[in-house]
Amino acid sequence: MRTENVQYFTEKEEEFANLLIEIGTKKNVAKVLVFLTNVPEATSRAIERGTDLRQPEVSLAIKYMTEQGWITIQGIPSERKGRPNKKYTLVVPVNKIIATIEKAKKAEANNQLALVRKIRDYI
């Protein structure tokens, strides 16, 4: 039997993830982002254990984050038969990711305000 270290969120990291969720970031993306912020690289299994997410939730978050260009994926050969494992690494600093989220939220808020102004024109 092999042993494995599992990293879990601290109270501060849990709060960080919850704040991201409150501003509209998907739960799985928020948790994976916070997890990868605190480790140099991680496998899907380590992310699942550390974030308490299921494999499909981690996969969806990884897919979204890859599309955004926030992470890289590196294949690592499996010790046994079967699929090779993958390592995920955050390649964009978290402060830049937060700035991107902030910019998107500002644009969304401005669009909503423009719609409210347009509604007022009908009154």
Residue 81 has pLDDT above 80, yes or no: no
pLDDT tens sequence across 31-49: 999 999 999 999 999 999 9
Count CB-CB contacts under 10 A for residue 38. 15
Q: Which domains are assigned to the chain?
A: 11-92 (1.10.10.10)
Q: What is the pTM of this model?
A: 0.83
DSSP-derived secondary structure letter, 84: P
